[in-house]
């Protein structure tokens, strides 16, 4: 039987990156009971880090793409936590998104929609989640977006 999540990723033309290694003294994820807590994933693609400050040198559409890259890394970390078996993911419970933005930028929710939309596209109704989208004066390495997630495991 094929994995419906992997199939859906393929249909969307998406490829999961390798799960990024931690950049400091923390673990990439922790499982407690049926809950999987994934550490913040920064905006990066195969080409490198997506840096910028929303409201200064990056627009909402570019920020949403940066958030989408965070979501792919979150799913990659979840896959690693589940020994490669994405069918163990029962639902996306919550995303917390941080947007590197100017003090007067107020479209953080539109930026984090890049990740939220991807989770719904990949997981369907199980991808609908609670969420926070907040501004940050700066993020690690100057990235545009960082997002952490909580998943429920089957």
pLDDT digits (tens, 9 = 90+) for 48-70: 999 999 999 999 999 999 999 99
The three-state (H, E, C) secondary structure of 90-139, written as one string: EEEEEEEEEEEECCCCCCHHHHHHHHHHHHHHHHHHHHCCEEEEEEECCC
Domain total of the chain: 1
pTM recorded for the entire structure: 0.96
Is residue 149 assigned to a domain? yes
In a domain, 12, yes or no: no
Asked if residue 32 belongs to a domain, the reply is: no
pLDDT at 1: 47
Q: What is the CATH number of the domain that holds 71?
A: 3.30.1330.40
Q: Which two tokens stand for residue 10?
A: 């393929």
Question: Is residue 4, in this structure, part of any structural domain at all?
Answer: no
Q: What is the pLDDT of residues 130-154, one digit of tens each?
A: 999 999 999 999 999 999 999 999 9
Is the residue at 71 inside a domain?
A: yes
Backbone angles phi and psi of 87, in degrees to 5: -70, -15
Q: What is the mean pLDDT of residues 31-41?
A: 98
Q: Which domain holds residue 63?
A: 39-153
Looking at residue 2, its pLDDT comes to 67
Determine the pLDDT at residue 129: 98
Q: Can you give the pLDDT at residue 124?
A: 96
Measured CA distances, 81 to 11, 13, 72, 152 (Å): 23, 23, 14, 12
Q: What is the pLDDT of residues 70-119, one digit of tens each?
A: 999 999 999 999 999 999 999 999 999 999 999 999 999 999 999 999 99
With respect to residue 19, please indicate whether it lies within any of the assigned structural domains. no
In a domain? residue 7: no
pLDDT digits (tens, 9 = 90+) for 18-28: 998 898 999 99
Q: So what's the pLDDT on residue 20? A: 87
CA 136 vs. chain centroid, Å, equals: 16
The answer to whether residue 8 is domain-embedded is no
């Amino acid at each position: 039987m094929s994995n419906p999540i992997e199939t859906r990723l393929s249909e969307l033309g998406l490829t999961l990156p390798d799960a990024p290694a931690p950049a400091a003294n923390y673990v990439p994820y922790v499982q407690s009971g049926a809950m999987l807590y994934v550490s913040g994933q920064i905006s990066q693609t195969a080409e490198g880090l997506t840096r910028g400050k929303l409201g200064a040198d990056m627009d909402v559409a570019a920020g949403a793409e940066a958030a989408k890259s965070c979501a792919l890394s979150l799913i990659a970390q979840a896959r690693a936590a589940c020994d490669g078996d994405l069918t163990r993911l029962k639902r996306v419970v919550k995303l917390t998104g941080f947007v590197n933005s100017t003090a007067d930028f107020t479209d953080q929710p539109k930026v984090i929609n890049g990740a939220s939309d991807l989770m719904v596209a990949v997981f369907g109704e199980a991808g609908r989640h609670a969420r926070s989208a907040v501004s940050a004066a700066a993020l690690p390495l100057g990235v545009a977006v960082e997002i952490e997630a909580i998943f429920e495991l089957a």
